[in-house]
């Protein structure tokens, strides 16, 4: 896992990176001016990550990888080991069979490793997948995804399609790994008298951006949420309007099938705990994590943990059934992750040890096993048909 560092100790980007970041800074400055001098943080985050051609996910910089030497910033489960995709194939197969559907949708498909691994494993089990449809805001990643799929499963590459947005209705199994945490969040600060919204202003000094907290109108649901927090003055937290709307839309559009979302986060009670005084906003740059989103805009990832209670409510509001909510460790072990290691000979330490280390990282409580969760929604599917959700469900904690 990444270490926490002060931004000053981060490695400096190259000249091209600085030019890229300067162009994005200028774009964000224009947006601040156009908005009258103050932008809600959610809009800053959206511009930093998704401004066409310049944002972190819509530009061309390297993001996913195992080491800082690759120029990458963080590693996700599908990048860590192909065993992740092989294990996730089990519940995906159960969901395809239970729903009688033959299409997989993947949101935010990264480098395409999960897609390639799922297609290969399901094909090996003779589970029919007629189409694998990728929806990603990042056009720059499409080429990388296509290449990964052609390299790993050339015979199945013709089944993969890319679309910009989901159709109005879809049937099938939808999966998104670490997509919710990449959605813009609003920031809220407990002031002496009331909750304030934290936004971004320009400065006259060498740093282009600074924080400014303002009184802002709150929708009833947000006001109720903020008022429920036992927060002292200075407490900072996030709200997740974009992730909730995204989940609601997915579940509204789901005709028959399953939506599975994997990410790091907690139920509301834990998320808005009085001791979580700084919230969960986090930036990732060259495998270091820190809390300053104004560093190198466009070159670093900005994320927040997921509030799974809000996600569950959004899916239920859209008429979907909550099929399960559990830790990633329990989900992957239920899906046979440990068994995937039997494909390796323990005496062949060169291949066995890295595979065993990756499995350990995925399930260890100290690493990704406990912090990462899986939530699944279904429509017209028997909840007991997905065996990965039968043991260890924690829906009652939401």
Ligand X SMILES: C[S@@+](CC[C@H](N)C(=O)[O-])C[C@H]1O[C@@H](n2cnc3c(N)ncnc32)[C@H](O)[C@@H]1O
How far is residue 135's CA from residue 248's CA, in Å, rounded to a whole number?
16
Report the residue number whose CB is nearest to ligand X: 108
Residue 390 beta carbon to ligand X: minimum distance, rounded to whole angstroms: 25
Give 79 or 94: the residue with its C-beta nearer to ligand X.
Answer: 79
How far is residue 146's CA from residue 136's CA, in Å, rounded to a whole number?
13
Give 138 or 289: the residue with its C-beta nearer to ligand X.
Answer: 138
CA angle 223, 325, 112 (to 5 degrees): 100
Residue 120 beta carbon to ligand X: minimum distance, rounded to whole angstroms: 17
Give 247 or 272: the residue with its C-beta nearer to ligand X.
Answer: 247
Is residue 367 within 8 A of residue 334, CB to CB? The reply is no
Residue 45 beta carbon to ligand X: minimum distance, rounded to whole angstroms: 11
Residue 50 beta carbon to ligand X: minimum distance, rounded to whole angstroms: 7
Give 21 or 72: the residue with its C-beta nearer to ligand X.
Answer: 72
Residue 284 beta carbon to ligand X: minimum distance, rounded to whole angstroms: 9
Give 46 or 195: the residue with its C-beta nearer to ligand X.
Answer: 46
Give 106 or 268: the residue with its C-beta nearer to ligand X.
Answer: 106
Residue 137 beta carbon to ligand X: minimum distance, rounded to whole angstroms: 4
Give 29 or 367: the residue with its C-beta nearer to ligand X.
Answer: 367
Q: Which two tokens stand for residue 165?
A: 């947005």
Residue 350 beta carbon to ligand X: minimum distance, rounded to whole angstroms: 25
Residue 141 beta carbon to ligand X: minimum distance, rounded to whole angstroms: 6
Residue 111 beta carbon to ligand X: minimum distance, rounded to whole angstroms: 7
Give 181 or 268: the residue with its C-beta nearer to ligand X.
Answer: 181
Residue 136 beta carbon to ligand X: minimum distance, rounded to whole angstroms: 5
Give 177 or 340: the residue with its C-beta nearer to ligand X.
Answer: 177
Handedness of CA 7, 9, 13, 18 (dihedral sign): positive
Phi first, then psi, for residue 274 (nearest 5°) are -55, -30
Footprint on this chain of ligand X (rule: CB under 6 A): 57, 64, 76, 78-79, 107-110, 135-138, 141, 177-179, 182-183, 246
Give 110 or 324: the residue with its C-beta nearer to ligand X.
Answer: 110
Dihedral over alpha carbons 267, 166, 149, 335 (to 10 degrees): 30
């Amino acid at each position: 896992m990444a270490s926490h560092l002060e931004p000053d100790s981060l490695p400096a980007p190259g000249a091209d990176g600085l030019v890229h970041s300067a162009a994005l800074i200028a774009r964000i400055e224009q947006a601040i001016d156009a908005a009258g001098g103050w932008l809600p943080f959610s809009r800053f985050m959206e511009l930093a990550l998704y401004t066409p051609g310049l944002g972190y996910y819509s530009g061309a910089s390297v993001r996913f990888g195992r080491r800082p030497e690759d120029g990458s910033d963080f590693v996700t489960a599908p990048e860590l080991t192909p065993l992740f995709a092989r294990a996730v194939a089990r519940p995906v197969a159960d969901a395809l069979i239970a729903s009688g559907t033959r299409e997989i949708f993947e949101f935010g498909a990264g480098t395409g490793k999960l897609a390639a691994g799922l297609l290969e494993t399901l094909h090996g089990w003779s589970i029919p997948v007629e189409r694998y449809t990728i929806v990603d805001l990042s056009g720059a990643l499409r080429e990388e995804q296509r290449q990964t799929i052609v390299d790993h499963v050339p015979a199945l590459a013709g089944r993969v399609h890319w679309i910009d947005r989901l159709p109005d209705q879809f049937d099938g199994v939808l999966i998104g790994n670490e997509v919710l945490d990449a959605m813009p969040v609003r920031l809220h600060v407990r002031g002496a008298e009331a909750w304030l919204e934290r936004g971004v202003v320009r400065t006259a000094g060498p740093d282009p951006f600074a924080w400014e907290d303002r009184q802002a109108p709150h929708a009833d649901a947000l006001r109720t949420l903020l008022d429920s927090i036992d927060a002292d003055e200075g407490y900072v937290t996030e709200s997740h309007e974009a992730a909730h709307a995204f989940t609601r839309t997915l579940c509204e559009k789901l005709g028959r099938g399953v939506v599975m979302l994997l990410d790091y986060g907690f139920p509301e009670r834990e998320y808005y705990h009085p001791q979580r005084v700084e919230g969960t906003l986090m930036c990732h740059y060259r495998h270091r994590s820190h809390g300053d989103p104004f560093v190198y805009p466009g070159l670093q990832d900005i994320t927040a943990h997921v509030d799974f209670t809000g996600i569950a409510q959004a899916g239920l509001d859209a008429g979907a059934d909550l099929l399960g909510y559990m830790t990633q460790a329990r989900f992957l072990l239920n899906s046979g992750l440990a068994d995937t290691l039997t494909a390796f000979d323990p005496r062949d330490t060169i291949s066995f040890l890295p595979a065993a280390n990756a499995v350990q990282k995925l399930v260890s409580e100290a690493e990704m096993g406990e912090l990462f969760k899986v939530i699944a929604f279904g429509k017209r599917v028997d909840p007991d048909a997905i065996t990965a959700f039968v043991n260890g469900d924690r829906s009652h904690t939401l």
